[in-house]
Amino acid sequence: MGSWKTPENRKYLKTDEWLLLEGDTATIGISDYAQDQLNDIVFVEQPSVGTVFAAGDVIGVVESVKAASDIVTPVAGTVIEVNQVLEGKPETINSDPYDKGWIVKLKVSDASGADGMMDAAAYSAYNDGR
Amino acid sequence: MNSEPLIYDISVAGREGANLPEADVPLAKLPADLMREALDLPEVSELQVVRHFTNLSRKNFAIDRQFYPLGSCTMKYNPKLNEDMARLAGFAHLHPLTDASGSQGALALMHGLQTWLADIAGFAAVSLQPAAGAQGEFAGILMIRAYHHERGDEKRTKILVPNSAHGTNPATVTMAGLSAVELPSDAKGNVDLEALRAACDDTIAGMMITVPSTLGLFDSNILEVIELVHACGGLLYMDGANMNSLMGIVKAGDLGFDVMHYNLHKTFSTPHGGGGPGCGAVGVNEKLVDYLPGPIVQITDPGQEPDLPPFYELVMPRKSIGQLKAFHGNFGMHIRAYAYIRSYGGGGLREISNHAVLNANYIRVRLQDAYHVPFNRYCAHEFVMEGHWEDAPDIHALDISKRLMDYEIHPPTNYFPLIVPEALLIEPTETEDKQTLDSFIEIMIKIAEEAKAQPELLKEAPHNTPVRRVDEIRAARQLMLCCRPEPDWHKAEEKTE
Amino acid sequence: MAYIPHTDAEREQMLNIIGAKSIDELFEAVPETHRFPALNLPPMMSEMDIVAEMQALSEANDHAGDFAIFRGAGAYHHFIPSVVNHILLRGEYFTAYTPYQPEVSQGTLQAIYEYQSMLAQLTGMDAANASHYDGATSLAEAVTVAKDVGRNKRKRIILSPYINPQYRAVVRTYHQWGDLEFVGDDQPYTTSELIDLIDENTAMIAVGYPNYLGHIENLSLFAEKAHEKGALLVVVANPIALAMFKSPGELGADLVVGEGQSLGIPLSFGGPYLGYFACREDYVRRIAGRIVGETVDQNGTRAYVMTLRPREQDIRREKASSNICTNQGLMALAATVYLSLMGKNGLRKAAELCYHKTQYAADRIDDLLHFSVDRLQPFFNEFVVKCPIPVSEINALLSERGILGGVDLSEDYPHLKDHMLICVTEMNRKSEIDSLVEVLKEVRHE
């Protein structure tokens, strides 16, 4: 069984993205489980600030040496900030997937996509069953 | 082994490696405003070039040096004769836009090869255009799409692909603007018929399937699979990567396949060249003949024996999906495959498949106690086993592969097919003798013992190779893709060192 | 059979261990109804007989051993130093697989790394991949990159009419279902007309350098407008010309692609050739094909390895931008050896020889009463000649005198009826050029 961290204040997708909603700002990253599966992350492809996305769109890609994983946004919105740290130090996601390793911040236009997401307990149980 | 410097690192200004003539025409005025200033190419002598590339070559494993049981790649002996034939002046120095009347020898050769390949796999026609297996797949899926399109059947947008498929299959489907639908395999390694039945409907354009499968197994339900897909209106694409076990054994066209690619660089011995070139000729049945990528060679005047030979020309099939590359395909590969088929003749080709399958089964049976063979029945020309034991939990397939290098054997394919954990896919080919197989088997058994008794021998392998395990993470994080121009970060790093 | 080593006794031993009575039994899973079909192929031949047959086939061609070649149009008869073939015939290279296992593939890997370096240098780009199938498919792959850079929203692809017609055909084959708008090559646009086609919906414009007619285009003009509109400038360049002319990178190109056959690879009736692909740093992660990078091994020794692997089909599967796997690796090695031998000065010298001889041939032909050469733009090793009678008739006459004349442009360019594209390289001696001129002299108006 896994010992992956799953902070309570976030919601999760089955594809291992996490979402933190604060007002109309959504922060998106990938979970501890996902970074563990990918192993050493070598590159993160991020969108440009100002890009508009619908819920379910691919907003970027996280790459390790042997795998690549799309990052999907659960909510619709416009990119207001990308994590610049990841450009030089993509491994930040490995060491701190929830805080320093966040990927994108969106100004949310429609948060309804968040409704179907798992809470921390459900996501932990889901990971244990994989 | 000492590391070989980069060719740039041995460059000395003013040195020359080629002996070119002086101009025998009056010199024209050079267009000064269009000319470049710097061109940073190496300046080395001819001997330096010969030594450099000879020294580098010694760092490679190769079929000419050692056993190379790399599954799905068919690393058989590449006959030297074929290399000589491809270098005959009339082939090597023939311009591709020479008129048909001036290239009858080359066209006759291509026509012969088209005809033979069609017969070997039971198809109506063959195009030699595709430069590689992946391009053959692309041609095949474009043909399937064109076939449905012409009939106004536009809702067929899906191609079924088993989860054991080569990555090129789903990637090809995407390139052709269709979507790949993955199908599971059943416990025997066959296509899961229930899942197939559920997936078959009028949105299916076709199915891509490798025969024998990438697990090295003949799918005993193959006729049923073909029938199901045909019944829903889809066409059948056979990935011919594993054809080395099929020559004279069964013809894809007879089984009901509509289109298939041949890998001349696998089955027909054209060399892999460290990555290419290849040839992914495609064969089709009557349904798809008019859609073949072109040009292909046809006889436009049958002539009259014995004095007037037939006349060959390059023609574009009537509804061709188009041209896949400039000119007529990788002709140099056509020459080699032609000479190869000539060397064996019809009866001999079956011996290839017989012995490829014999060798694979021999290794399988002799290794089945030391390694777990998940689908342990008669295999085709290759088989998959697991490179992992419960009583050696830290050892993975990769470690076994690296340890094999210490014994001067090229590793099998690792981690493919994806559906077997810790897969080691072993393909000996027919050109290996029993002594070589026995020695490989003994080494594999020894490695299995080492894995339990001295796992560090595997974890730290290879020990005797030109370089040890390389840092792929550094390569990906600090991209250094060429020494000219040198990336800024690299210059900075060197200064601080 | 020399290639299958098994003796009868060994076959028996092996079958015994397998537990099968016969080899046929191993095929029991193959549907019985279709098992063991007859092959309708000729019988096996001895090595001696194969050589005789293939020599006869090879001599039934008008090749450069017997003919003076003045035909180019995408395939060029250049000098190849002997060393190239000797290195290519080393089994350590040509009988190796793709270098997936870096510890036992450093030879191939380092050679590719050197190739990438030389191609980046020639084109003025930051990086190059390990090859595509040929110049035409490199251009098709460039369209995929441009489409991706334009986030699939920019639909317009502008192809200069003077890109090799075969390349344009291949690009259309590749992208026939791609929802793209191909413009620019349906009529003989001028440079300024082509530039006017670049708009906000344009993903890229592709231009030849030199173009199909041998002309050196003014790339800066294209670059300026393309970049103003956010489109990519893709240059299809002849690598020998790059030894002499300003690099496309210097003039603003974003991607440089083309045919590397000129770099030490024989004509071989059209293949195998070498599609090269070079790009600016910004696009490195978007390009298809294999790429080798420098790194170190666990002892800190310099080493090379294939990198940026997750873009490739075996990992990305249906999400990969291209399905390419097998490439033209050995041809890239040929180019690397060739460029090493020629070096900085040799390649420039070869290019200048091409230039001088081309100018000489153009001057001599232009002097003929019934022929004229289009000299409005500078040209490299090809030029357009207006002829007094159909090109096919002239070529028939040349063929009788052992000369392979230029390509007839009328098929691909209706406005160039009776125009011939003549190619001259360093391989054409002055005496050959003079013979060509002598034969043309015999041609009169009808």
For chain A, give the number of residues: 130
Model confidence at C445: pLDDT above 70: no
Q: So what's the pLDDT on residue B73?
A: 96
C-alpha B191/C-alpha B184 separation (Å) is 7
Instruction: Chain B: give the shortest CA distance to residue A4, in Å.
Output: 21
pLDDT tens profile C160-190 = 999 999 999 999 999 999 999 999 999 999 9
Facing residue for B31 by CB, picked from C51, C164, C378: C378
Q: What residues in A contact B478, CB-CB < 8 Å?
A: none
Q: Please say whether the beta carbons of B324 and C171 come within 8 A.
A: no
For chain C, give the number of residues: 446
Q: So what's the pLDDT on residue B307?
A: 84
Report CA B29 to chain centroid distance, whole Å: 48
Query: How many helices (H) and strands (E) in chain A?
Result: 4, 9
**Range A11-128: architecture per CATH:** Beta Barrel (2.40)
Same domain, C354 and C207: no
Q: Please say whether the beta carbons of C263 and C335 come within 8 A.
A: yes
Same domain, C437 and C333: no
Instruction: Chain B: give the shortest CA distance to residue A48, in Å.
Output: 21
| Closest listed residue to residue B73, CA positions, set B85, B61, B90 | B61
Lay out the sheet containing C372-373: strands in order across.
C372-373, C382-386, C419-423, C407-408
C-alpha B246/C-alpha B211 separation (Å) is 9
Instruction: Chain C: give the shortest CA distance to residue B59, in Å.
Output: 5
Q: Please say whether the beta carbons of B147 and B288 come within 8 A.
A: yes
Reading the block at residue C251, the tokens are 């003039």
Interface test with A, best of C149, C284, C314, C315 (most A CBs within 10 A): C315
The answer to whether residue C31 is domain-embedded is no
Q: So what's the pLDDT on residue A67?
A: 87
Query: How many helices (H) and strands (E) in chain C?
Result: 13, 15
Output the average pLDDT for chain C.
96
Residue with tokens 């405003």: B33
Q: What residues in B contact A65, CB-CB < 8 Å?
A: 472-473, 476
Q: What residues in A contact B476, CB-CB < 8 Å?
A: 42-43, 63, 65
Q: Which domain holds residue C271?
A: 83-338
Q: Please say whether the beta carbons of B403 and B395 come within 8 A.
A: no
pLDDT tens profile B335-370 = 999 999 999 999 899 999 999 999 999 999 999 999
| Closest listed residue to residue B158, CA positions, set B234, B239, B256 | B234
Which CATH number do you get for residue C431? 3.90.1150.10
Q: What is the mean pLDDT for each group of 10 consecutive residues in chain B (497 residues)?
A: 86 95 96 94 98 98 98 97 98 98 97 98 98 97 98 97 93 96 91 96 97 93 96 97 97 98 97 97 98 97 90 98 97 98 95 98 98 95 96 95 98 90 96 98 98 96 96 93 79 61
Q: What residues in B contact C56, CB-CB < 8 Å?
A: 105
Strand, helix or coil at B284?
strand
Could B470 and C350 be called an inter-chain contact, meaning their C-beta atoms sit closer than 8 Å? no
Strand, helix or coil at C236?
strand
Could C285 and A45 be called an inter-chain contact, meaning their C-beta atoms sit closer than 8 Å? yes
Q: Does A81 touch chain B (CB under 8 A)?
A: no
Reading the block at residue B50, the tokens are 């010969």
Q: Provide the 8-state DSSP code for B394.
A: T
Q: So what's the pLDDT on residue B497?
A: 46
Same domain, C376 and C407: yes
Q: So what's the pLDDT on residue B487?
A: 72
Instruction: Chain A: give the shortest CA distance to residue C314, in Å.
Output: 10
Instruction: Chain A: give the shortest CA distance to residue B417, in Å.
Output: 15
C-alpha C197/C-alpha C192 separation (Å) is 9
User: Chains near A, with 3+ CB pairs < 8 A?
Assistant: B, C
What one-letter code names the amino acid at A32? D
Interface test with B, best of A40, A85, A86 (most B CBs within 10 A): A40
Q: Please say whether the beta carbons of C58 and B107 come within 8 A.
A: no
Which CATH number do you get for residue C286? 3.40.640.10
Q: Which of C338, C356, C382 is the last residue of a domain?
A: C338
Model confidence at A77: pLDDT above 70: yes
Query: How many helices (H) and strands (E) in chain B?
Result: 15, 12
The answer to whether residue C102 is domain-embedded is yes
pLDDT tens profile C202-235 = 999 999 999 999 999 999 999 999 999 999 999 9
Q: Which helix (H) or strand (E) holds B115?
A: helix B104-121
Q: Does the model's ipTM exceed the 0.90 cut?
A: yes
**Range B82-343: architecture per CATH:** 3-Layer(aba) Sandwich (3.40)
C-alpha A120/C-alpha C7 separation (Å) is 66
CB pairs under 8 A between B and C: 684
How many structural domains does chain C have? 2
The dihedral of CA B283, B287, B288, B290: what is its sign? positive
Facing residue for B171 by CB, picked from C106, C246, C322: C322
The answer to whether residue C56 is domain-embedded is no
Could A68 and C311 be called an inter-chain contact, meaning their C-beta atoms sit closer than 8 Å? yes
C-alpha C307/C-alpha C288 separation (Å) is 12
Residues 6+ apart with CB under 8 A from C367: none
Strand, helix or coil at C302?
strand
Same domain, C74 and C102: no
C-alpha B469/C-alpha B268 separation (Å) is 33
Q: Please say whether the beta carbons of C385 and C365 come within 8 A.
A: yes
User: Chains near B, with 3+ CB pairs < 8 A?
Assistant: A, C
User: At what angle are helices B104-121 and C47-59 packed, to 10 degrees?
Assistant: 130
Same domain, C357 and C308: no
Q: How many CB atoms lie within 10 A of CB A115?
A: 9
Facing residue for B60 by CB, picked from C42, C51, C105: C105
Residues 6+ apart with CB under 8 A from B420: B215, B374, B384, B386
pLDDT tens profile C73-106 = 999 999 999 999 999 999 999 999 999 999 999 9
Same domain, C353 and C267: no
Same domain, C237 and C365: no
Q: Provide the 8-state DSSP code for C367.
A: T
- C142, HSE (Cβ side, Cα atoms, 13 Å): 38
Counting residues of chain C whose pLDDT is more than 70, the rounded percentage is 100
Reading the block at residue B339, the tokens are 């000479």
